[in-house]
Structure 1
Amino acid sequence: MQEKILNTATEMFLYYGFKSVTMDDIADKLGISKKTIYAHYSTKNKLVQATGSHLLQTISEGIDEVRAKNLNPVIENFEIKRFVNQHLKGEKTSPHFQLKKYYPKIFNKLIEEQFNVLEDCVGENISRGIELGYYRKQINVPFVCRIHFVGMMGIKDKEMFPLEEFSEQDLTEEFLNYHLRAICTQKGIKTLEEYLSNEK
């Protein structure tokens, strides 16, 4: 039952937002009493924290699966983006914004964990890309990892990038294109342009 609660809560929080969904909503969706949820998660805060960790673990495992395919480093970025977008739905409610605003302690802890995942993933991708000639040799890898993370977090800011003007799908695509053109060699840019052309 605990796993069922966790999966349902994660789905609802992502779709409707962390603030908007109540424990009653989750209980109704599962067809159980609220007491049953509280038997596993004594407060909503604990459930929010558990769902955040659960989602991060799911995404981290999915990223590892993509990385295990040993794809071209340029294309690997898009495959990871595709996987992550499939698991982060709530474009209209901006769960990222709600989590930051209403659960700042949980948000900050998850951001730290998320950075560790991304630093490892992006760092390895860049190192491999340099070795294979797709990325420039003179790249400062720790700097690019951090600027990549800051950029990915920045495009989630709905005041800077309002949904009326920018969809999350378009933003991640644009940012990734921007990021890769900054670090690619001519060989890498050729791969990037071929990939984008085939995707149209």
Structure 2
Amino acid sequence: MITKKELLECAKASFTKFGSKRITLDELAKTLGISKKTIYVHFKNKETLVNKSVASLINDYKLDINEIVKNNSNDDILTIILIYKRGFEYLRYFKPSFIFGLKKYYPHAYTTFDNFRKELSYSTILNLLNSAKEKGLILPSVNVKLITELYFLRVESIAFSSNNLFTTYDSKTILDHLIVHNLKAITVDSYSNSYF
């Protein structure tokens, strides 16, 4: 019998690739070679499966973020770049309808995603920017909270606007233009890292 973890991993891959609304439980069961009843053994309904899938995706990314922060604690600017580099590796495989479909059809899952997005921006990124500013790496006139709101809070909305930028540009180009160049513009001339 399939495990709950295996089912969740397949659901995450299917939902992000095709959109959570488009994939039915029948299709998911067929992909896994199980009956739909088996899905109900592990999850009450599709909404619960979508909610758990989003929570699991976020948890995976949080683990990556914690590792990045731990391994780059002496360079706050580089840490931000690496966090988004990893995030873009996740987003590259997301169909835009996955995130937009959450908002429309699965509000609880979207709230989980939105809370994570805000936590990442207003906690992790803002704290790193404040730390970099305290160390004298960011120009004194820069309002780091405003920078956070302008450049980091809605990254996925920009990347998935009218068309999916990940289908037009490679991840490095998107990282450079959405993250690196904006960070470079606010840092002091004496600061540099391998991305600058």
TM superposition score normalised by structure 2? 0.82
Hey, what's the Cα distance between the residues in 1 that align with 2:19 and 2:170? 15
Shift of 1:10: 0.8
Question: Does the alignment pair 1:175 with 2:189?
Answer: no
Q: 2:105 aligns with which of 87, 102, 106?
A: 102
Judge which range, 56-65 or 11-20, deviates more.
11-20
SS at match of 2:111: helix
> What's the offset of the Cα at 1:37?
0.8
Quick check: 1:139–1:183 contact (8 Å CA) kept in 2? yes
Matched, 1:127 2:130: yes
Structure 1 residues 9 and 166: CA distance shift in structure 2, 3 A: same
2:114 is matched with: 111
C-alpha separation in 2, matches of 1:125 and 1:134: 11
1:156 aligns with 2:159: yes
Count residues with an aligned counterpart.
Answer: 192
1:11 is aligned to 13
- 1:40 counterpart (39, 42, 55): 42
Q: 1:43 to 1:67 in 2, by over 3 A?
A: same
Q: Does 2:45 match 1:29? A: no
Which residue does 2:148 correspond to in 1? 145
CA deviation digits over 1:136-168, x for unaligned, max 9? 234333333333333414313432x55598437
Gaps of 5+ in 1: none
State the secondary structure of the residue aligned to 1:42: coil
Task: After TM superposition, give the deviation of residue 85 of structure 1 in Å.
Answer: 2.4
Coordinate RMSD, CA, aligned = 2.6
d(CA) in 1 for partners of 2:82, 2:160 = 23
Tell me the amino acid that sits aligned with residue 65 of structure 2: I
126 and 165 in structure 1: CA distance in 2 versus 1, 3 angstrom threshold: same
TM-score, normalised to structure 1, is: 0.81
Rounded Cα–Cα distance in structure 2 between residues aligned with 1:14 and 1:154: 15
Residue aligning to 1:57: 59
Q: Distance in 2 between matches of 1:51 and 1:124?
A: 28
- Alignment CA distance shift 1:97-1:48 (3 Å): same
| Contact 2:159–2:166 (Cα < 8 Å) also in 1 | no
* Range 172-181 or range 88-97, more displaced: 88-97
